[in-house]
Amino acid sequence: MSAQKYYFIARMPDEPGALHTAAEIVKRYQGNIERIHYDRRIDPYVVFFEVTCEASEYEAIERELKAIGYLQTSLTKLGFLKFKVVLPHRAGALFEFLHFTTEAHCNIAFLDFDDQSKNPDQVTVSLTIDDVSKLDGLLERLRSRYPLEILEYDLTGKRLDDTVFYIRFAQELRQIIGEQEDQFLMKLLSDINHIVQELTNLDMEPKAVFGSVLETGRTLKATTGLGFYADVQVVQVTEDVSLFCFQPPCGGNIYALRDREGFVLIDTGYGIYKDDVKVMLAHHGMSDLTKLKGVYITHADADHSGGAWSLPAVAHVHPGTAEIVQAANRAYGSMSESSVLEAVYTKLINLFSAFKPPEDMVLYDLTPRGEVMGLDVIGHVQIGDVKLKVLNGLGGHLHGQVFFVAEREGLLFTGDSLIDLKSISEERSRFNLLAKNLMTSVNVDSDRADEERKVLIDLARMLSSPDRERPCLICGGHGTISYLDEKRLKTFGHVDRYPILS
């Protein structure tokens, strides 16, 4: 039987030798510790382990840790209680009071008593309790014996202090992703802790990393339904074809090219916006999804491909995009493939944004059919009288990213390799920064990303010759449809807000 990797979360007393005891148990059963992380700034009691051993050995490790109370096996919701209690002014009164809290399995987080204070009989107590059903019983017993003033009473987990940081964090995650099995959530906590460990080693404040994770999920959830909006541009490309650019609240743009017979989409936004996007398309004359002729994905990031599964059309993708989707790691196929940050971020954003793989994918044949500015042509998209060439990217932003160009009409879809950053709203910029905070860079290969950007700028310049009625329109993965004005990108035309606010 071959060795496997296992993870576990240890919740141990904050006392000398506790960590040594856990490590000795792992060693006793030939477990090889591959990762360990403990940071009392985050939680003074919790240690994350990843070990390699055989299944029978791991069962023994779990059994021993559980026997001494070190193995965390669940993430039960905790109750929080803060109160003032008046104790009799006699020896042993505090000891007798603590008997009741111990009997209810409470953890004292704060206790303030001073015999020399203005109120020598008064004690201020904060505590957490594992079984919230026991909280009312505890209060009833205390009230029958002592004068009591409740200061705070919370069963939601919002008032838990940092002595139970990971349990509080797990409860906040549940508010974003809904109720999940404890084992799923504990594995997710282990993964999040891993990126916290990586980023802390890069001098990031650990609580800021946890904050970025929660803000990512909360922002996505808050911008669906009544919170959904989009900035919209409409350009008449030819007499037959109209171009729509939709900027959702978070993530990448959605482009639609529509003729008299139907329409195609380039990128789909996050999966969590699927219902909102369909209503928005209907508002702009694309309600009949049977006329959706195809979905064309620039790259595998969830904010560009995440909604494809919900649409009744074939998703056309680069083979590299299909590989990334299958691997659930945005760095797959790149020099950053082994990056913990990339892999865990992919897992988190896919979870928060309701990502699913497209049900029906057609892969581009990578055999070159010509080239444009040194980029191989690997396919074509026809909509009305507009023909787009599919260009194979260099893998700078993401392995498998493609671009689309209509040379005659001067249209260039650049994915996330060329973006008018100044056109992105402050709210969207703040959300986009969260990804950078959690990965340090959104590009899997920075040198190639620079090269891609230069190639696309040169192509846009070439397609913006003076004899054209308008410059080449640059349709980036974020921000507005723009054009090159000397060395700068500028917004083209008018931008409207959807829905229209009265």
pLDDT one-digit tens code per residue, 272-314:
999 999 999 999 999 999 999 999 999 999 999 999 999 999 9
Average pLDDT of the segment spanning 384-407 = 98
pLDDT score of 159 more than 70:
no
- What is the average pLDDT score of the chain? 91
Contact criterion met (CB below 8 Å) for 346 and 329: yes
Closest CA to 126 of 103, 88, 154, 147: 154
Per-residue confidence at 69, pLDDT binned at 50, 70, 90?
A: confident
Per-residue confidence at 115, pLDDT binned at 50, 70, 90?
A: low
Domain 79-154 and domain 225-498 have a common topology: no
Q: Which residues contact 426 (CB under 8 A, 6 or more apart)?
A: none
Task: Indicate the burial class of 218 (C-beta count within 10 angstroms; 0-12, 13-18, 19 or more).
Answer: middle
Query: CA 125 to CA 86: how far, in whole Å?
Result: 11
| Lookup result for tokens 């590299």 | 320
Closest CA to 400 of 446, 363, 447, 438: 363
Number of Cβ within 10 Å of residue 208's Cβ equals 12
Determine the pLDDT at residue 343: 94
Average pLDDT of the segment spanning 334-340 = 91
CATH fold, domain 4-67, is Alpha-Beta Plaits (3.30.70)
> If you count them, how many residues does the chain have?
502
Per-residue confidence at 158, pLDDT binned at 50, 70, 90?
A: low
Strand 292-296 versus strand 315-317 pairing type: parallel
Domain ranges of the chain: 4-67, 79-154, 168-222, 225-498
Q: Comparing 214 with 73, which gets the higher pLDDT?
A: 214
Determine the pLDDT at residue 116: 67
Query: CA 136 to CA 128: how far, in whole Å?
Result: 13
Average pLDDT of the segment spanning 185-196 = 93
Per-residue confidence at 392, pLDDT binned at 50, 70, 90?
A: very high
55-67 helix and 18-28 helix, angle to the nearest 10 degrees = 150
Per-residue confidence at 470, pLDDT binned at 50, 70, 90?
A: confident
| Lookup result for tokens 């699927």 | 274
pLDDT score of 160 more than 50:
no
Both tokens assigned to 310? 């919900």
Per-residue confidence at 502, pLDDT binned at 50, 70, 90?
A: low
Which backbone phi and psi does 58 adopt, to 5 degrees?
-65, -35
- Which helix (H) or strand (E) segment holds residue 325: the answer is helix 319-327
Query: CA 451 to CA 70: how far, in whole Å?
Result: 52
Q: What is the DSSP string of 429-469?
A: HHHHHHHHHHHS-S-S-HHHHHHHHHHHHHHHHHT--TTSS
pLDDT score of 79 more than 80:
no
Q: What is the pTM of this model?
A: 0.85
Closest CA to 152 of 80, 98, 78: 80
pLDDT score of 164 more than 50:
yes
Determine the pLDDT at residue 156: 61
Rounded to a whole number, what is the distance in angstroms from the first to the last CA of the chain?
68
Determine the pLDDT at residue 365: 97
Both tokens assigned to 190? 């282990």
pLDDT score of 14 more than 90:
no
Per-residue confidence at 108, pLDDT binned at 50, 70, 90?
A: confident
Determine the pLDDT at residue 138: 87
CATH homologous superfamily for 79-154?
ACT domain (3.30.70.260)
CA distances in angstroms from 379 to 179, 388, 475, listed in the order given? 44, 8, 19
- In the chain, the percentage of residues whose pLDDT exceeds 70 is 96
pLDDT score of 121 more than 90:
no
Q: Which CATH number does 225-498 carry?
A: 3.60.15.10
